[in-house]
């Protein structure tokens, strides 16, 4: 073992044996609960937030706990001991084996995987994987879409149906009440059933990204008739984070609500880093395999070959990557369409493929070998995330010919993927002013047969570096409402530098806001429960409940305590921000008390007076407008 | 002078003689320029951002400076010495006098103003005002709307026309190119003329908030056919900021882009604080006079009277407040409509009036005396900001009967204001899920005769305390696009505590993003110049230009330097975030270079190939869809 490795090993052991305590700490007044499905090994996790009683001034009542979707996995369950050297329990292993359509391999079947496995120099950093990779038996297709199309409801589908319902049946009517919502296209049923999940997957309108080699995962679904999901990116780089830091970042990302995590690492040892991440990840992991393929040819795009790329797909599929971003829509003929752009090609994968196509003056090997890729995907149930290599990198370039030419090709490729029963979602922009966002969504649905859309933002203006989580959060909320299924987060450091933990947290919370705002606007059943519970807590000055129901309880409490640190301030029935004279909540309660005291006659008189005035006003209004 | 006042005086002198250096510091590579109008005393300020040349690798060219709207007043002009004890120069004084329709009073005509002026205990904190208040001569109306309706183009209107054009005529075509935009309703001309300004003000579609007693102001306009504006709130409270801190906050707010500032102070000495703020403010100041009236009756809403309120209006009008929020739409009959709400009445002014109405069981004195209020407004040219006292305080309460009943009344009151040629805008929500936002805008335009809308957010979800600048920034951008003229900012501390300087900055930048995203979406002429210039700088790795063109150059540079502190990194033609292999900008340049090298025949072949493929694809696509 050379000195570098010794150092790595030492560093590694020091840092990774434990996830930071703050990253695993359950949120205040919250506990992990599990809802069992039709068989005892379907146990769907939720976070249950316990609330205090309504104070007597507001009519003393019990407030039922609120149950929310929970992406944080076993980490926030204090009953489960986790050693990241062992990875998470392989919850799905039995379901996969039961289907009897996979075989266990002797070891990695990719050349690269084999090399890495026996390289003694890597021993120190290698995850101690005791399980061997699996693959579909010859001629078999193990994708959830394949099962769905055969009419099979898998345990994964049932798990998802329970998860999406968020156990709202026991909430009071007041909390459930919601505005009707405006859903563009297909509609969301009042209760999500396993059959509905199956049907959506069969149609290709939703995907369940879940590699058979990632049995540690808690199943989730991406589709516009389900809760809007968000993705958080992690990844080391030249400036380097260690393996342990990457695992910590992944767990940190799921704590705040990342539904999937993309590992965009580009340094060396990405094979080993990825293994650690997947073994410890309760959420789907996505990658961009061309990044690693490029490393294998020392960064020379023109030296890329189908064989190297193919081996990389197999290598990563056997580690358990759940979805691959593949830029197969960047075709030779589209490249000149980007020459007059303000910012050319801004997708890394897109620019690598553009360079390859130009250097060889040949059609992209990703496009040419697309059916071969499908054969790999279905052997492991890896989902496509068809990359938008020609997405706009500036407001100026939004919705241009290059972008939409590629989108049509992605639609063509979607049909090929579906022919193979391979799950598929489509990546989208980028940088788009507000009034052009809906066109992106509409064309995507039209060209790509309603396959789920997965967008980066879009940023609605380019003039705020340092705040691009916000410029893009606006676009993300809107496109989520219009039907986008998953939103890829953007951190405040976008365009400027590498995000630290705080940036990751801010980026994720911003995108949880966008996703939830979209769920509300679509009228997703139950989405409003949490808003209502928080609003009620706010009105009743139940400060701790207000914090705990929020997306970031720790930040809310911290902000509150900056102004009013005393414990008593969290019980006061008005707060010192406005003081009692100006407390509208307090005055409203006076109004209610007054209304309660009124006799029936008085109430009627009040309400009658109101109606008369309303009629009178409409009459007046009409006259008044004529005078202008 | 008692001990308390001595302390105040001492504190005051220490802290207020100077605005913080960082608050006045011009942004890097930026200088204040002035464009002269038809007379030499019309000098409209802009910030000119100087750019570096495009590096030779990207085709070496000069980049013209970009000129942007500037709200920061003389503070960022190093040529102007400011002593806040003297206040800003009274630029408009001559224009006001020239009109010959006002008279100078001997002193404050309000009772309260007179008391405060002679109270020896206040000597230490009193601004040394050497100018006496002005008022319209008997029978005269000095509102900009009145002039506009008489066909007069005032110097203020010409000033605004120059300001709104942002001097875009000398930008290159590339930078000006923009997407067409989608403007709901009336449209924005290619060039804003003084006549257009006059016409919009005459119709009531825009207001110029500018009290004749605030001659220090730099004229600006609020209306949906102009750039979207934002408001920042300041205000002391029980927990107390000093006078000097309030002035500092106002200047800080305009530095980051506050177009108007509302002083929401509720403590004692608010009369004196306000004087200091107005005398030093280059932007319109708004207030909620009922807050001060309530102080005068020791916080007992039921003790409020029309006489006390009237005196408060005169007091503040003679100090120079530019617009008053008046909750005259909170009528007795609407109050019971709020009883079943989740969060009742959340507007402070609204709840004060609701309490008064209930206590007296009488119609609101603001509603009853609305014409009397108009008489005061037109004597000083104070604009109405008709308060939405019944705005929703939660997603649950959005767009309910109480809210829209009040909105109709605000429309009725708008017609009365216009009968008096008094300028008027309408305040709006609040908390509204995305799909209900447009209804707010549409109904406001319909009921209020297209008077400018001025909204708080709206927040699109209630589940993110600590991030309500973002939950509301989403709604603000959308309603701005739909036609809202001014957006009232929300800081991260909303609902939790009092904002500090950093919160104010974050709140303002968030709202500048929302306003600019709306300008882009509406297709405001010239709005895209800044985006394009920044995108071009980004593509060409002109890091400093990218920072300086942003809304917050300091934050952008700070973020960049966290990852890449070396000075050289700001010149590199790729950055170490991705490294040269993954640098899509660099690869794009290779593509361009390659395209340039191609012969004409090759270019044609490429482009022809592309067209053939496109046709082929459409054919294929149609077939493919039939297979599903």
Residues of B in contact with A464 (CB under 8 A): 509, 512-513, 516, 550-552
Q: Do B521 and A609 touch (CB under 8 A)?
A: no
Min Cα distance B193 → chain A (Å) is 23
Min Cα distance A308 → chain B (Å) is 17
Residues of chain A above pLDDT 70, percent = 86
For an interface test with A, the pick among B467, B537, B561 (most A C-beta atoms closer than 10 Å) comes out as: B467
Per DSSP, what are the bridge partners of residue B144? none
**Helix A270-279 vs helix A306-319: crossing angle, to nearest 10:** 30
H-run or E-run covering B542: none
Which tokens hold the place of A108?
């990695």
Identify the three-state secondary structure at position B341.
coil
Residues of A in contact with B564 (CB under 8 A): 497
Mean pLDDT to the nearest integer, A84-113: 96
Nearest CB to B552 within list A334, A352, A466: A466
**Helix A243-256 vs helix A270-279: crossing angle, to nearest 10:** 40
Q: Do B333 and A531 touch (CB under 8 A)?
A: no
Residues of A in contact with B609 (CB under 8 A): 332-333
Q: What digits encode the pLDDT tens for the residues A411-453?
A: 999 999 999 999 999 999 999 999 999 999 999 999 999 999 9
Residues of A in contact with B551 (CB under 8 A): 463-464, 467
The larger pLDDT score, comparing residue B107 to residue A130, is at: B107
User: Rounded to 10 degrees, what is the CA torsion of A571, A574, A576, A580?
Assistant: -150
Q: Angle CA(B232)–CA(B146)–CA(B133) in degrees, nearest 5? A: 65
* Residues of chain B falling short of pLDDT 70: 1-17, 167, 169-170, 236-241, 565-587, 591, 594-628
**What is the model's pLDDT at position A607?**
53
**Helix A111-118 vs helix A270-279: crossing angle, to nearest 10:** 90
Question: Does A70 score more than 90 pLDDT?
Answer: yes
Q: Do A539 and B343 touch (CB under 8 A)?
A: yes
Which tokens hold the place of A413?
């490729």
Rounded to whole angstroms, the Cα distance separating A522 from A535 reads 20
CA atoms within 13 A on the CB side of B571: 6
Residues of B in contact with A585 (CB under 8 A): 343-344, 346
Pairing relationship of beta strands B285-287 and B323-326 according to DSSP bridges:
parallel
H-run or E-run covering B103: strand B102-104
Rounded to whole angstroms, the Cα distance separating A160 from A226 reads 10
Nearest CB to A351 within list B497, B549, B584: B584
Rounded to whole angstroms, the Cα distance separating B615 from B628 reads 21
Nearest CA in chain B to A564: B497
Q: Do B415 and A624 touch (CB under 8 A)?
A: yes
A581, B341, B396, B483 from B433: Cα distances, Å? 30, 16, 9, 17
Q: What digits encode the pLDDT tens for the residues A37-53?
A: 999 999 999 999 999 99
Which tokens hold the place of B425?
């805008």
Nearest CA in chain B to A345: B588
CA atoms within 13 A on the CB side of B539: 30
φ/ψ bin of A64: left (φ > 0), alpha (ψ from -120 to 50), beta (otherwise): beta
Q: Do B559 and A465 touch (CB under 8 A)?
A: yes
Residues of A in contact with B352 (CB under 8 A): 582, 587
Please give the model's pTM, rounded to 2 decimal places.
Answer: 0.93
Closest C-alpha among A312, A464, A453 to residue B512: A464
Nearest CA in chain B to A459: B517
Residues of A in contact with B559 (CB under 8 A): 465-466, 492-493, 496-497
Rounded to whole angstroms, the Cα distance separating B233 from A68 reads 35
The larger pLDDT score, comparing residue A215 to residue A497, is at: A215
Residues of A in contact with B333 (CB under 8 A): 606-607, 609-610, 613
Nearest CB to B466 within list A299, A555, A625: A555
Q: Do B551 and A467 touch (CB under 8 A)?
A: yes
Residues of A in contact with B483 (CB under 8 A): none
Mean pLDDT to the nearest integer, A131-152: 98
Q: Do B463 and A549 touch (CB under 8 A)?
A: yes
Which tokens hold the place of B469?
């600048």
Rounded to whole angstroms, the Cα distance separating A579 from A571 reads 14
For residue A72, what is the DSSP state? S
Pairing relationship of beta strands B66-69 and B102-104 according to DSSP bridges:
unpaired
For an interface test with A, the pick among B335, B400, B535, B597 (most A C-beta atoms closer than 10 Å) comes out as: B535
Nearest CA in chain B to A405: B614
Residue B34: phi, psi to the nearest 5?
Answer: -130, 135
Nearest CA in chain B to A330: B610
Which tokens hold the place of A620?
């007046």
Nearest CA in chain A to B348: A584
Q: Do A433 and B550 touch (CB under 8 A)?
A: no
Rounded to whole angstroms, the Cα distance separating A597 from B196 reads 55
Q: Radius of gyration over alpha carbons of chain A, in Å?
A: 26
ipTM of the complex: 0.92
Placement of tokens 């149950």 in the chain = A67
Q: Radius of gyration over alpha carbons of chain B, in Å?
A: 26
Closest C-alpha among B460, B397, B410, B457 to residue B434: B460
Residue A426: phi, psi to the nearest 5?
Answer: -120, 130
Q: Angle CA(B247)–CA(B252)–CA(B257) in degrees, nearest 5? A: 130
Neighbouring C-beta atoms of residue B139, cutoff 10 Å: 6
Q: Do residues B27 and B553 make contact, with C-beta atoms less than 8 angstroms apart?
A: yes
Min Cα distance B505 → chain A (Å) is 12
Q: DSSP string spanning B301-340?
A: GGG--HHHHHHHHHHHHHHT--EEEE-TT--GGGGGGGTT
For an interface test with A, the pick among B402, B408, B559 (most A C-beta atoms closer than 10 Å) comes out as: B559
Nearest CB to B412 within list A513, A546, A620: A620
> Peptide bond before B430: cis, by omega within 30 degrees of 0?
yes
Q: DSSP string spanning A314-378?
A: HHHHHHT--EEEE-TT--GGGGGGGTT-SS----HHHHHHHHHHHHHTS--HHHHTHHHHHHHHH
The greatest distance separating any two alpha carbons of chain A, rounded to the nearest whole angstrom, comes to 91
B202, B406, B419, B442 from B412: Cα distances, Å? 18, 10, 11, 16
Q: Angle CA(A620)–CA(A622)–CA(A626) in degrees, nearest 5? A: 115
Rounded to whole angstroms, the Cα distance separating A284 from A425 reads 14
Mean pLDDT of chain A: 89
Q: Which residues are CB-contacts of A236 (< 8 A; sequence separation ≥ 6)?
A: A242, A245, A246, A265, A266, A267, A270, A273
Burial of B521 by CB count in 10 Å (0-12 exposed, 13-18 middle, 19+ buried)?
buried
Q: Do B466 and A350 touch (CB under 8 A)?
A: no
Q: Do B584 and A513 touch (CB under 8 A)?
A: no
Question: Does A601 score more than 60 pLDDT?
Answer: no
Q: Do A497 and B563 touch (CB under 8 A)?
A: yes
Residues of B in contact with A591 (CB under 8 A): 335, 338-339, 344-345, 351, 354-355, 358
**What is the model's pLDDT at position B422?**
98
H-run or E-run covering B555: helix B553-563
Rounded to whole angstroms, the Cα distance separating B13 from B36 reads 37
Q: What digits encode the pLDDT tens for the residues A195-205?
A: 999 999 999 99
Neighbouring C-beta atoms of residue B349, cutoff 10 Å: 25
């Amino acid at each position: 073992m050379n000195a570098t490795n010794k150092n790595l090993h030492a560093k590694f052991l020091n840092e990774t044996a434990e996830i930071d305590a703050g990253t695993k700490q359950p949120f205040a007044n919250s506990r992990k609960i599990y809802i069992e499905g039709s068989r005892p090994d379907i146990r769907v996790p939720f976070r249950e937030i316990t609330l205090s009683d309504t104070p007597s001034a507001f009519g003393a009542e019990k407030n039922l706990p609120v149950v929310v979707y929970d992406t944080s996995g076993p980490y926030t369950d204090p009953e489960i001991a986790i050693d990241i050297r062992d990875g998470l329990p392989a919850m799905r292993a039995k379901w996969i084996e039961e289907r009897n359509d996979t075989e266990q391999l002797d070891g990695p079947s990719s050349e690269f995987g084999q090399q890495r496995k026996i390289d003694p120099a890597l021993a120190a950093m290698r995850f101690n994987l005791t399980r061997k990779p699996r693959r579909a038996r010859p001629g078999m297709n193990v994708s959830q879409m394949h099962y769905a199309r055969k009419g099979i409801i898998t345990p994964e589908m049932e798990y998802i149906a329970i998860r999406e319902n968020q156990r709202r049946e026991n909430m009071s009517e007041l909390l459930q009440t919601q505005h009707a919502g405006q859903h563009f296209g297909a509609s969301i049923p009042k209760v999500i059933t396993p059959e509905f999940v199956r049907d959506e997957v069969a149609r290709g309108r939703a995907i369940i990204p879940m590699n058979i080699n990632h049995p540690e995962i808690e199943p989730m679904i991406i589709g516009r008739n389900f809760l809007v999901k968000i993705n958080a990116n992690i990844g080391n780089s030249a400036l380097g984070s260690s393996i342990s830091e990457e695992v910590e970042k992944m767990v940190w990302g799921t704590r705040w609500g990342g539904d999937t995590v993309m590992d965009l690492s580009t340094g060396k040892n990405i094979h080993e880093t990825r293994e650690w991440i997947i073994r410890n990840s309760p959420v789907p992991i996505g990658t961009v395999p061309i990044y690693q393929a490029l490393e294998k040819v020392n960064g020379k795009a023109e030296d890329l070959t189908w064989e190297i790329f193919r081996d990389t797909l197999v290598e990563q599929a056997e580690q358990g990557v759940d979805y691959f971003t593949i830029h197969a829509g960047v075709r030779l003929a589209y490249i000149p369409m980007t020459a007059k752009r303000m910012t050319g090609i801004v997708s890394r994968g897109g620019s690598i493929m553009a360079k390859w196509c130009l250097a060889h003056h040949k059609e992209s090997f990703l496009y040419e070998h697309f059916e071969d890729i499908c054969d790999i995907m279905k052997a492991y149930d890896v989902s496509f995330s068809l990359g938008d290599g020609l997405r706009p990198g500036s407001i100026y370039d939004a919705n241009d010919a290059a972008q939409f030419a590629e989108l049509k090709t992605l639609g063509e490729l979607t049909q090929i993927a579906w022919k193979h029963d391979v799950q598929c979602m489509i990546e989208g922009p980028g940088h788009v002013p507000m009034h052009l966002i809906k066109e992106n969504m509409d064309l995507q649905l039209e060209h790509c047969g309603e396959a789920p859309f997965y967008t980066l933002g879009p940023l609605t203006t380019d003039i705020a570096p340092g705040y691009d989580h916000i410029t893009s959060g606006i676009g993300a909320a809107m496109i989520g409402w219009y039907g986008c299924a998953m939103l890829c987060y953007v951190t405040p450091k976008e365009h400027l530098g590498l995000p630290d933990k705080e940036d990751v947290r801010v980026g994720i919370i911003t995108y949880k806001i966008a996703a939830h705002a979209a769920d509300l606007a679509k009228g997703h059943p139950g989405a409003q429960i949490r808003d209502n519970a928080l609003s009620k807590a706010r009105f009743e000055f139940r400060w701790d409940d207000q914090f705990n129901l929020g997306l970031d309880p720790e930040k809310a409490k911290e902000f509150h305590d900056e102004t009013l640190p005393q414990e008593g301030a969290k019980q006061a029935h008005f707060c010192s921000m406005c003081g009692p004279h100006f407390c509208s909540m307090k005055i409203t309660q006076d109004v209610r008390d007054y209304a309660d005291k009124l006799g029936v006659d008085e109430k009627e008189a009040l309400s009658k007076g109101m109606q008369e005035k309303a009629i009178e006003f409409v009459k007046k209004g009409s006259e008044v407008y004529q005078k202008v």
